[in-house]
């Protein structure tokens, strides 16, 4: 009898038999496969961009004017586009980030729970899903038709894109600040504005900056909003943000991508590598800020 029960006990401890176990294994394999299926093209893209772009990138390339498409890669560079991206994105940041922070302050500190507050929060999230090309068409209709193409118009379009993203990420950071801090400040006789600006914002600053950096990274890579606002097609840099067409890296890549000339395509790869590098730097900066300065995280 004893031998039988040990035999039985051993049998019970084995994994579920046959088909069930196989199904489980297949499922696990499929899950791993999905990860692989996604990593491979990502790897390919990055590899191609780095391989094709690295050979063309140089200080000369990053600072020279844009030559006609026909010319081979050794001529000229993408200087104006780099400058354009830096200036236009910076302008968009200056416009959108303060407004986004203020909007999030309204949602979290003032109006959040009421009907209007919840509606604004909801529509802000919906707005993050509006295609970026629509922002371009919008600014085209309301600004470019009256004032012409300019870096400023591009900044407006990018700003519209960044605004709801900054609102959402800032709102999440403000929410994490413990209420006890606010109460302590109120108890000392501070007004709501003061409590918000001198206690809540500083406490949430790390997370807010990090979220803003990610929004900037996204905006820097956007092409569609720039298509009808800065126009492109320049060969030399236009430092005047307020008048005249301009050029930026994404737009430059876009025009080069559809060219048959190898020179133009090479410049496209170089510009792509530059753009990805900028986006990566911003992303890493965001992670560093989160790690070192974010006091309250989920």
At closest approach, how far in Å is the CB of 242 from other proteins?
21
Closest approach of other proteins to the CB of residue 285, in Å: 13
**Cα gap 195→112, rounded to integer Å:** 17
Q: Whose Cβ is closer to other proteins: residue 62's or residue 127's?
A: 127
Q: Which is nearer to other proteins, 237 or 245 (CB)?
A: 245
Q: To the nearest whole angstrom, how small is the minimum distance from the Cβ of residue 67 to other proteins?
A: 18
Three-state secondary structure call for residue 14: coil
φ/ψ of 246, rounded to 5, equals -140, 180
Smallest separation, CB 66 to other proteins (Å): 16
Question: How far is residue 149's CA from residue 139's CA, in Å, rounded to a whole number?
Answer: 10
The rounded distance, in Å, linking the Cα atoms of 185 and 3 is 74
Q: Which is nearer to other proteins, 110 or 242 (CB)?
A: 110
Rounded Cα distance between 281 and 287, Å, is 10
Q: Where are the alpha helices (DSSP H) in 18-150?
A: 18-54, 59-63, 79-105, 115-127, 132-139, 145-147
Instruction: Output 29 or 239, the one with its CB closest to other proteins.
Output: 29
The Cα–Cα gap between 257 and 32 comes to 34
Q: Is 144 in a helix, a strand, or coil?
A: helix
Contact 158, 88 (CB under 8 A): yes
| Closest CB to other proteins among residues 45, 70 | 45
Closest approach of other proteins to the CB of residue 292, in Å: 14
34-47 burial by CB neighbour count: b if 16+ within 10 A, else e?
Answer: eeeeeeeeeeeeee
Output the smallest distance, CB 148 to other proteins, in A: 14
Nearest CA to 81 out of 258, 254, 263, 259 is that of 254
Q: Closer CB to other proteins, residue 81 or residue 83?
A: 81
Select 246 or 256, whichever has its Cβ closest to other proteins: 256
- In the bound complex, what is the minimum distance in angstroms from residue 2's beta carbon to other proteins? 25
């Amino acid at each position: 009898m004893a031998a039988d029960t040990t035999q039985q006990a051993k049998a019970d401890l084995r994994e579920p038999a046959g088909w069930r176990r196989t199904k489980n294994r297949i499922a696990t394999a499929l899950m791993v496969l999905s990860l692989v299926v996604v990593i491979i093209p990502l790897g390919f893209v990055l590899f191609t961009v780095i391989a094709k772009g690295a050979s063309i990138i140089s200080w000369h390339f990053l600072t020279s004017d844009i030559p006609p498409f026909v010319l081979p890669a050794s001529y000229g560079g993408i200087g104006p586009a780099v400058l354009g991206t830096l200036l236009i994105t910076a302008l968009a940041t200056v416009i959108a980030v303060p407004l986004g922070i203020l909007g999030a302050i309204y949602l979290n500190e003032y109006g959040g729970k009421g009907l209007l507050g919840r509606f604004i929060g909801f529509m802000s999230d919906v707005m993050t899903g509006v295609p970026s090309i629509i922002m371009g068409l919008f600014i085209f209709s309301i600004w470019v038709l009256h004032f012409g193409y300019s870096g400023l118009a591009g900044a407006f379009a990018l700003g519209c894109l960044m605004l709801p993203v900054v609102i959402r990420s800032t709102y999440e950071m403000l929410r994490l600040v413990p209420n006890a801090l606010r109460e302590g400040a109120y108890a000392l006789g501070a007004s709501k504005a003061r409590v918000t600006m001198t206690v809540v914002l500083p406490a949430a600053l790390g997370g807010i900056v990090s979220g803003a950096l990610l929004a900037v990274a996204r905006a820097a890579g956007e092409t569609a909003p720039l298509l009808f606002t800065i126009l492109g097609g320049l060969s030399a840099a236009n430092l005047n943000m307020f008048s005249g067409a301009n050029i930026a890296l994404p737009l430059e890549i876009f025009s080069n991508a559809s060219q048959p000339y190898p020179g133009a395509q090479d410049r496209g790869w170089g510009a792509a590598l530059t753009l990805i590098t900028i986006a990566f730097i911003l992303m890493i900066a965001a992670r560093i800020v989160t790690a070192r300065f974010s006091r309250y995280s989920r």
